[in-house]
Amino acid sequence: MIDRLQKILSRHGIASRRGSEQIILAGKVFVNGKQITELGAKADPECDRIEVDGKLLQTNAPKFVYLLLNKPKGVMSTCDDPQGRKTVLDILPSQYQHVYPVGRLDYNSSGALILTNDGDFANHLMHPRHHIAKTYEVWVKDIPSSHIIKQWQEGIVLDGKLTLPATVNILQIEPKKYKTPRTQMQIILSEGRNRQIRRVAEQLGHPVLGLHRVAIATIPLASLKFGEYRLLCDLEIKTLCST
């Protein structure tokens, strides 16, 4: 079936729709030996020879896979890293080397991360209009006042734009164990700007000491240990797609 190249690459698990567009614009896609750099180009994967980074695209799209991973701290949430740091693919078995992360989780952060080879699914989760909630447990320096908590809940200006309202609750305070008191907070965001929690916390005078994502939408990590993963069930996939 003839279709736009970015949709074909997405269906074959090369990247999300947007990621596939970037791959095309970078000149990494060839159709029948001709380099394609325009997003309007179309092809038929059953008839045309499509190559991405020198690798031939298989005729049949692979079976879709949906994983929930508890990413450890010190692991990149990417498929490769120019600096040679460990990535999420390095901690997954060989049968899952064709998946890619949906969104990002900082190198120094840990927790829930979804990986898939379903480009349309990934694109749905990452699109800002869906406001898919993500729940974090965050340790910050010192003890935020009620005024600071209210500011965080109502929104802070980042890059000239107010953040969306967030759920911010204090879970516990540990003033005795450390020279400087620290506070554990539950933070639920419905948007995902770059390093948002860390930047807001810094701006409010309470730098992040540790950040762990415990749930995506209604799907919790539960008993998954660092570095462990599981397949999402059909109901969880359907829930995420309808969010």
**Residues annotated as part of the active site:** 106
State how far the Cα of 101 lies from the Cα of 180, in Å rounded to an integer. 36
Give the containing element (helix H, strand E) for 150: helix 146-154
Alpha carbon dihedral 20, 21, 27, 31, in 10-degree steps, equals: 70
Residue with tokens 């919790």: 220
* DSSP code of residue 136: E
Query: Which parts of 13-93 are beta strand (E)?
Result: 29-31, 34-36, 42-43, 50-52, 55-56, 66-71
Other CB atoms within a 10 A radius of the CB of residue 137 amount to 18
Q: Is 229 helix (H, G, I), strand (E, B) or coil?
A: strand
Is 29 within 8 Å of 23 (Cβ atoms)?
yes
